[in-house]
Amino acid sequence: MTDAPLRLNLGCGNNLKDGFLNVDKFGEPDFRHDLEEFPWPWEDNSVSEILLNHVLEHLGRDIDMYFGIIKEIYRVMVPHGRIFIVVPHPRHDDFINDPTHVRIVTPEHIALFSKAKNQEWAEGGHANSPLGLFIDVDFEVVRTNITPSPDYVKMLENNIISKE
């Protein structure tokens, strides 16, 4: 009998999700684990879905630690698994003012872990870092959604800022 693939809510804090194994090093998750300790306690190809809701920007201040996290995500995911990443915009006050934010995460940043993009850039002579090839992971950005926070919407409506 084969167990169904896991669904992980990593760095869940108090935001526990039904149907997921809620994981954090603090609080009262279903499972306590520090995501900066390797290897993670899940088998290769055992996870079908990962939620990283306001987590990834807090992890891996050191680049080798960050690459370790990315490699662990890749190792535990089933082929064609889904990862949902929610992070604050790097220019938002919530990002800038939180001293625990150690890393900017953007769709372009995640695209650096795509082997197809890495090869395309190499063939085109581009200078993008081929991180997928360097650390042997392969992620594809499928969709990006940028949602302005209510305070920025209000500033836009009041012509304090522009869309640009």
pLDDT of residue 2: 52
Low-confidence stretches of the chain (pLDDT < 70) are 1-2
Task: Give the span between the Cα atoms of 17 and 3, in whole angstroms.
Answer: 20
Write out pLDDT tens, residues 85-131: 999 999 888 999 999 999 999 999 999 999 999 999 999 999 999 99
Range of the structural domain that residue 30 is part of: 6-157
Task: Give the span between the Cα atoms of 74 and 5, in whole angstroms.
Answer: 14
Which runs of consecutive H residues, i.e. helices, occur in the chain?
63-76, 93-96, 107-111, 115-123, 131-135, 150-157
Number of domains in the chain: 1
Residue 162 lies in a domain: no
**Cβ-contact 23, 8 below 8 angstroms:** yes
Tokens matching residue 38: 């390797």
pLDDT of residue 148: 84
Task: Give the span between the Cα atoms of 68 and 1, in whole angstroms.
Answer: 31
Residue 142 lies in a domain: yes
Residue 125 lies in a domain: yes
For residue 111, give the CATH number of its domain. 3.40.50
pTM of the model: 0.91
pLDDT of residue 1: 40
